[in-house]
């Protein structure tokens, strides 16, 4: 049929027509369908059962989202030719306190976002989720470093580094404790790469101060600071750093474990 050709249909008659781009179909009951690409129309032509349009697949659609909060294997959804993934490493633990003081918050783990396109189809592989760093012990220990998170896409391993812990403190009545500097963020190129620094722990006088907050990650939160009466630091989530301890004989908060989110497109 040619474009804009009117074909009458009796009500209740089943039809199946193939239209070229720009084709228009007018059926019983005043029903009209216009398409801009090749399409197949099926239906009865009745007002109770309008003609349905079956359009060809449109490339670039979001066809799947996969989320990993634990290590595993990424298997792409059938038809995936582009992925945009977010990977978050584990956050650092907050600093602990021995006799008196306020520990620093841990840095968040590094966050990366990247896209990969392969017209022949995306291939997956191992996903490793970094654990959160342990909170510093109540001996004034520094918080632990978070684990690295990685994903294999098209035979390339993309890795982001875990956040470092906040410094602990042992019997310091007036001091500022700082987070440790995090290592270089990624072993492979990323479209976006960042981390959130932990806060300083501040002790103004004996048993009078506040710990450092945990660094905030793009996918999670850092542990909130605690004051002298708060004691132990609070844990971060999804790559956020743990907050430092404050007061006496208290442990720092643990960092949050990492996360991977993969958006798949055809």
Number of domain units in the chain: 2
Do 92 and 24 belong together in one domain? no
How is 141-198 classified by DSSP, letter by letter? PPPPPPPPEEEEETTEEEEEPPPPPBP-BSS-SSEEE-BPPPPP-BSS--SEEE--PP
Q: Are the beta carbons of 195 and 123 closer than 8 angstroms?
A: no
pLDDT value at position 230? 75
Do 264 and 191 belong together in one domain? yes
Do 78 and 167 belong together in one domain? yes
Do 164 and 38 belong together in one domain? no
Per-residue pLDDT, averaged over 222-234, amounts to: 89
| 124 within some domain | yes
Per-residue pLDDT, averaged over 165-172, amounts to: 81
Q: What is the extent of the structural domain holding 217?
A: 61-266
Between 1 and 194, name the one with better pLDDT.
194
| 9 within some domain | no
Between 100 and 109, name the one with better pLDDT.
109
Q: Are the beta carbons of 82 and 117 closer than 8 angstroms?
A: yes
Do 249 and 177 belong together in one domain? yes
pLDDT band at 33 (very low <50, low <70, confident <90, very high): very low
pLDDT value at position 200? 86
pLDDT digit string, tens, across residues 254-263: 999 999 999 9
Q: Is the pLDDT confidence value at 84 over 50?
A: yes
pLDDT value at position 52? 54
| 6 within some domain | no
pLDDT value at position 194? 86
| 1 within some domain | no
Q: Is the pLDDT confidence value at 69 over 50?
A: yes
pLDDT band at 184 (very low <50, low <70, confident <90, very high): low
pLDDT band at 187 (very low <50, low <70, confident <90, very high): low
Do 48 and 178 belong together in one domain? no
Residue with the two structure tokens 């995090």: 182
Mean predicted lDDT score pLDDT of the chain = 80
pLDDT band at 235 (very low <50, low <70, confident <90, very high): very high
Between 220 and 181, name the one with better pLDDT.
220
Q: Is the pLDDT confidence value at 243 over 60?
A: yes
| 10 within some domain | no
Q: Is the pLDDT confidence value at 50 over 60?
A: no
| 39 within some domain | yes
pLDDT value at position 2? 39
Do 48 and 88 belong together in one domain? no
Candidates 7, 212, 201, 225; CA nearest to 101 is: 201
pLDDT digit string, tens, across residues 3-22: 444 444 444 444 455 555 55
> What are the tokens at 171?
């019997």
42 strand-pairing partners: 16, 52
Do 96 and 22 belong together in one domain? no
pLDDT value at position 180? 58
Do 114 and 27 belong together in one domain? no
Do 122 and 38 belong together in one domain? no
pLDDT digit string, tens, across residues 143-155: 999 999 999 999 9
Between 141 and 181, name the one with better pLDDT.
141
Per-residue pLDDT, averaged over 170-175, amounts to: 56
| 166 within some domain | yes
| 5 within some domain | no
Do 259 and 232 belong together in one domain? yes
Do 88 and 170 belong together in one domain? yes
């Amino acid at each position: 049929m040619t474009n804009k050709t009117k074909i009458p249909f009796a009500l209740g008659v089943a039809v199946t027509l193939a239209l070229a781009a720009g084709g228009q179909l007018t059926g019983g009951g005043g029903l009209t369908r216009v398409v801009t690409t090749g399409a197949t129309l099926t239906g009865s032509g009745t007002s109770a059962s309008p003609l349905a349009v079956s359009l060809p697949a449109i490339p670039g659609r979001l066809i799947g989202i996969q989320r990993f909060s634990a290590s595993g294997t990424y298997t792409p959804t059938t038809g995936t030719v582009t992925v945009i993934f977010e990977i978050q490493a584990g956050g650092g633990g907050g600093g602990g306190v021995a006799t008196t003081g306020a520990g620093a918050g841990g840095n968040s783990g590094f966050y990366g976002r990247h896209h990969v396109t392969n017209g022949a189809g995306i291939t997956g592989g191992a996903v490793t989720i970094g654990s959160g760093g342990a909170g510093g012990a109540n001996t004034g220990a520094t918080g632990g470093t978070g684990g690295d998170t990685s994903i294999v896409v098209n035979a390339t391993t993309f890795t982001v580094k875990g956040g470092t812990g906040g410094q602990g403190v042992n019997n310091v009545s007036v001091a500022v404790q700082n987070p440790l500097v995090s290592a270089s963020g990624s072993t492979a190129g990323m479209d976006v790469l960042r981390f959130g620094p932990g806060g300083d722990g501040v002790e103004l006088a004996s048993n009078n101060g506040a710990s450092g907050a945990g660094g905030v990650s793009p996918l999670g939160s850092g542990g909130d600071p605690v004051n002298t009466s708060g004691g132990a630091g609070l844990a971060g989530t999804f790559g956020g750093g743990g907050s430092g301890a404050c007061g006496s004989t208290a442990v720092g908060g643990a960092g949050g474990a990492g996360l991977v989110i993969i958006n798949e497109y055809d």
